[in-house]
Amino acid sequence: MISSYRASFNEHFSEKKYKGFLEELEEGFAGIPFRVAETPVFIPETLKEKLVAAGAEIVKLIQQPDFKQLTEKSIPLNWRVPAENGQPHFLTFDFGICKDEQGNLIPKLIEMQGFPSLYGFQAHLGETYKKAYSLSEQLTPYFDGIDEAAYITLLKEVILGTHQPHEVALMDIDAPNQKTAIDFLVTAQYLGIKILSLSDIKKEGKHLYYEQNGQKIRLKRIYNRLIFDEIGSNTGLFKDSFDPREELDIEWVTHPNWFYRISKYTMPFLKSEFVPETFFLHQLDTIPSDLENYVLKPLFSFAGMGVIIDVKKKDIEEISDPENWILQRKVNYEPVVQAPDGGVKVEIRLMYLWAEGKEPVLCINLARLSRGKMIGVRYNKDFDWVGGTVGLMEK
């Protein structure tokens, strides 16, 4: 999108360079099971300013005194976790890049989460693109004058809190075998924390611990990467470990309730040029006559599961739990990233860190390139110049 960088990158691109980039990205880590795109996204200043403004509008809603009241019904009763704190530690907002009526680039909100994303991997990815392709030192994946050192310092503050690294662990169901395991490994390298599967953690009274070299190490804080939707009804997984819904002497980063509070559930409350019109399905007075311009989304799902793109009136009428669905005006992605054989659509995720008692800070970004009907791996099989990437901006 910054035409000078794009033209130069494409002119000098080769499959050999791309292969070398992937080898450098994976060096010292396990292989990456998801597709990483051939190219970064070069974000122009005008689009960057709109992304920052769009994010600021959403943050303003989240910081309203009545936000918890607005979102109280977002948390499923069977997944409510006690001892919720006053703020999330992470905010991520996904924007599709579109064009307005004047032909200018504009971000449109697709989804949002109060849950961590690839905060370790994206820093590593940005530096590797720059190094492997010999890109300008004037390019950065960071916002607001942040550099890598300042970013990692803030990441430590948010994830470690007041504790020592050995008292903090990154946790997922089966952490080593998650698709995002490389992010876990990079994060552990930056922070010195343990990576634990749910089964690695045991409970005594209200305390949690893990074992290392025959010693019990008490956990004070969990960097939570476990999504309850993945557990589903399989709560037997908690039997030999611990149940997060019990009263525990543990700090959560971030508390699991925020996964639901800041989610698709929040979108109907947002009124902005950067947010497509969104309705709770059970509050819809009449079904729009132009359903081809809408998409139907379940509130409680992730990775695009359950989304109905080509909505029919019958689809809406057959939903038995409309309170758990939203109807959202479609966003028309513009193929603004120029690949050697045509345009590619892009989605940009703004990633914030929010240290306790402070203001949220927009730090870094994640981008995804797509030629398919939707953003995401399952919709982009057999394409090149698609997949996960990062936006680079001029300092």
pTM confidence score: 0.95
Helices within the chain (DSSP H only):
3-12, 15-26, 45-62, 67-70, 121-132, 148-160, 181-191, 228-231, 257-261, 313-317
CA dist 126 and 189 (Å) reads: 16
pLDDT at site 372: 75
pLDDT at site 305: 72
Average pLDDT estimate for 340-357: 96
pLDDT at site 303: 59
Question: Does the structure show a pLDDT above 70 at 26?
Answer: yes
User: Cβ-count burial of 22 within 10 angstroms (0-12 exposed, 13-18 middle, 19+ buried)?
Assistant: middle
CA dist 17 and 221 (Å) reads: 41
pLDDT at site 304: 60
pLDDT at site 133: 98
Full DSSP string of 28-61: TSPPPSSPBPSS-EE--HHHHHHHHHHHHHHHHH
Question: Does the structure show a pLDDT above 90 at 367?
Answer: yes
* Cα dihedral 138/140/143/146 (nearest 10): -80
**pLDDT tens-digit profile of 263-321?**
999 999 999 999 999 999 999 999 999 999 999 999 877 656 788 989 999 999 999 99
pLDDT at site 228: 87
Question: Does the structure show a pLDDT above 80 at 210?
Answer: yes
Average pLDDT estimate for 56-76: 96
pLDDT at site 380: 73
**pLDDT tens-digit profile of 177-195?**
999 999 999 999 999 999 9
Question: What share of the chain has pLDDT > 70, as a percent?
Answer: 97
pLDDT at site 374: 62
Average pLDDT estimate for 361-387: 84
Average pLDDT estimate for 371-395: 83
**pLDDT tens-digit profile of 151-167?**
999 999 999 999 999 99
Q: How many residues does the structure list for the chain?
A: 395
pLDDT at site 30: 80
Average pLDDT estimate for 63-85: 95
CA dist 30 and 40 (Å) reads: 22
pLDDT at site 379: 64
